[in-house]
């Protein structure tokens, strides 16, 4: 005979672990992207020390992509 309480508990644990896995995966990707960006910046700075540096500019979204209210 199956235990309904154990089944509910395992379902809850499975849902929680899926959410935790998603958060860990997204944070890992963010950290990897940041590391790769910093490594590329350091490499470029090492090989081209006298190259002009532009401040990071924020990319603008085109007006056609903005969500229209109403």
What's the predicted TM-score (pTM) here?
0.57
Q: DSSP string of the chain? A: ---HHHHHHHHHHHHHHHHHHHHHHHHHHHHHHHHHHHHHHHHHHHH-TTS--PPP-PPPPPGGGSPPP-
Residue written as tokens 């979204």? 61
Q: What is the pLDDT of residues 20-52, one digit of tens each?
A: 999 999 999 999 999 999 999 999 999 998 888
Confidence band of 53 (pLDDT split at 50, 70, 90): confident
pLDDT tens digits for 11-28? 999 999 999 999 999 999
């Amino acid at each position: 005979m199956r235990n309904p309480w154990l089944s509910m508990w395992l379902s809850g644990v499975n849902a929680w672990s899926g959410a935790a896995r998603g958060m860990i995966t997204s944070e890992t990707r963010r950290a990897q992207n940041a590391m790769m960006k910093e490594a590329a910046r350091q490499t470029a700075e090492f090989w081209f020390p006298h190259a002009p540096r532009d401040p990071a500019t924020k990319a603008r979204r085109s007006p056609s992509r903005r969500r229209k209210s109403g």
